[in-house]
Amino acid sequence: MTNCPKCNAPLLPNAKFCGSCGLPMQASSSGAPQVSSPEQNYQSGYNQQPGYQQTPQYQQPPADFGNRQDQGAFHFDTDGRGRGRGYTWEIKHQGAFALAVINLQPEQSISAEAGAMVSMSANVDLQSQMKGGVFGALKRAVGGESAFVSTFTAHGGAGEVTFAPGAPGDVAGIEMENQIFMVQSSSYLAGDTALQVDTKFGGAKSFFGGEGLFVLQVSGRGLLLVSSFGAIHRKTLRPGEMYVVDTGHLVAWEGHMQYNLRKAAKSGFFRSFLSGEGMVAEFTGPGEILIQTRNLAAFAGLLKPFFPSQGGGSSGFSFGE
């Protein structure tokens, strides 16, 4: 007969705890109960207390961290999170006010469009440089972007950086795999430092579409973060299929896709003007297009009557008239 080491009460064979004082026991291979160590009892007792939480420890992301949706060329993560070389990422508050959170491992970096940073850890260093040299910076400036590219690096330990676009809308994380995408300059938010981002001529007619003369060509392997005004709608075209998108609603498309810029109405410029539509892009498949559900320029036009006129005579709001 074995006795409890705490209260000396007799223990039954294969007892899991003392019937007198409740001290936990561990069954041995011989069937005789064994007393749990004080450290095990201490940890077990606290883990069973309501509301108890252990101090979080750093762990590698689980194997299913970042479930990809590979139904098209743009590889989205269905859970809005994933991992890259030296960092993990997550899109929080998805919808109208999305925020991209990048957790960098020590001495790792992420690139972003100038002005995209919302917050960062104190040990994260920011470096701005003219990517692509003077000519590359000039092309970026002419294309409506900042001439500088920001690089964020965690020094002395892990660090966090958060990014968000200037306008309300969603953010999507795309895991590129040695692909080439064309991205509207206003939609590029951030990306892996291994990605090549170049400014390409988008055609003279694109200027009249209100989207500038240049678009971004992004190529390589790694994370690409794009933003949209509104939600992102995916459209996949079959070989030979033609599809028309208003240039103000374009986010990104596959680099091999052929497209032409033209008036919305084929019958003439005047009818296009009366319809309220400007320039459109006519794509030919196969390929995939990312479309934003709202047009920032059109939204700005809706707000214009509510702003004061240049003369300052009216505030744009009228009460009691």
pLDDT higher than threshold 60 for residue 275: no
- Give mean pLDDT, residues 48-69: 47
Q: Given this model, what pLDDT does residue 27 score?
A: 53
CB 160, CB 108: distance < 8 Å = no
Cβ neighbors of 290 (< 8 A, separation 6 or more) are 74, 172, 226, 228, 232, 233, 234, 235, 250, 251, 252, 253
Rounded Cα distance, 215 and 90, in Å: 26
**Residues 90-101: pLDDT tens digits?**
999 998 899 999
Q: How many CB atoms lie within 10 A of CB 236?
A: 16
What is the rounded distance in angstroms from the CA atom of residue 222 to the CA atom of residue 193?
Answer: 8
Q: Higher-confidence residue: 228 or 273?
A: 228
Which two tokens mark 18?
């003392």
For the record, the structure tokens of 175 come out as: 């895991």
CA–CA separation, 154 and 124 (whole Å): 4
Tokens coding 45: 């007792």
Assigned CATH for 74-303:
3.60.160.10
Q: What confidence tier does 161 reach under pLDDT thresholds 50, 70, 90?
A: very high
Q: Pick the closest to residue 99 from 220, 190, 180 (CA basis).
A: 190
At residue 235 the predicted structure's pLDDT band, cuts being 50, 70 and 90, is very high
Q: Report the distance separating Cα 225 and Cα 73, nearest Å.
A: 15
- 163 burial type by CB count under 10 A (0-12 exposed, 13-18 middle, 19+ buried): buried
Q: According to CATH, where is 3.60.160.10 located in the chain? A: 74-303
